[in-house]
Amino acid sequence: MAFRVPALPKLSPRTIALLAAVAAVAIGAVAANASKHESPAAAAPAAAPAPKASADQNISHDATAAELKAAAALPQCRSARLVPVNRSWGVPMPSIYASTSTTCNLMYGDDPYRGSNRYGDPDTAIQVLQRNLNFCYGTKLAVDGIYGSNTRAAIKTVQRKHHLVVDGIYGPKTRSAMNWRLYSMATRSWSRSCSSPL
């Protein structure tokens, strides 16, 4: 029995423009954050030449720290919406409350709210993520709307698989890299497989 990957639907110009805008905002935020926190030690002359491996590790560590800070600075996903891929299919994914933006994050400790603000529906956002992880990545998470240690571990596995910074935070980079199960409003049916349409 041969395994066939279904052809992905073609993206509409509006969807492409929306995805480009989201990516530009995320890249701009990371770049701005990285330039703000440039290490003063990098400008100072070194007392002794450092081994090449150590320099590579420092660069990687600085980039990781900048990405972690940028990801953590985003607002919590407090809703879920169907992001259109084309006229027939869309991807249910976590989003910002009362907005079409999906540039938000979910992280360990969201139970379901983060902090003292009690608005939106973050448990639904977390449940949408947990269902997708269960279907597309074979995790066996309880769909409970709590971003606990098991959900964080599943996101870390996804991040490793897609060669991302492994921080356990669901954010724009993880969202764009991971596979999603599509939903059709027209037929009210789910796709049989997962793809990365973003």
DSSP per position, 27-78: HHHHHHHHHHT--GGGTSPPSSPPPHHHHHHHHHHHHHHHHHHHHHHSPBP-
State the pLDDT at residue 9. Answer: 55
Contact criterion met (CB below 8 Å) for 198 and 174 = no
Question: For residue 2, is it within any domain?
Answer: no
Confidence of residue 73 (pLDDT cuts 50, 70, 90): confident
Question: For residue 161, is it within any domain?
Answer: yes
Sorted by sequence, the CB contacts under 8 Å of residue 168 that are 6+ apart come out as: 107, 108, 152, 153, 155, 156, 159
Question: For residue 144, is it within any domain?
Answer: yes
State the pLDDT at residue 179. Answer: 97
Question: For residue 43, is it within any domain?
Answer: no
Total number of domains constituting the chain = 1
The string of pLDDT tens digits covering residues 132-173 is 999 999 999 999 999 999 999 999 999 999 999 999 999 999
Angle between helices 13-36 and 52-73 (to 10 degrees): 120
Whether the per-residue pLDDT at 129 is higher than 50: the answer is: yes
State the pLDDT at residue 144. Answer: 97
Rounded to an integer, the average pLDDT of 21-48 is 44
Which domain range does residue 63 map to? Answer: 13-36+57-195
Confidence of residue 29 (pLDDT cuts 50, 70, 90): very low
Q: How many CB atoms lie within 10 A of CB 103?
A: 19
Sorted by sequence, the CB contacts under 8 Å of residue 110 that are 6+ apart come out as: 76, 122, 126, 146, 147
Question: For residue 44, is it within any domain?
Answer: no
The string of pLDDT tens digits covering residues 90-118 is 999 999 999 999 999 999 999 999 989 89
State the pLDDT at residue 63. Answer: 57
The overall average pLDDT reported for the chain is 79
CATH number of the domain encompassing residue 80: 1.10.101.10
Instruction: Give this prediction's pTM.
Output: 0.67
Question: For residue 159, is it within any domain?
Answer: yes
Question: For residue 6, is it within any domain?
Answer: no
- Give the integer Cα–Cα distance in Å for 121 and 43: 46
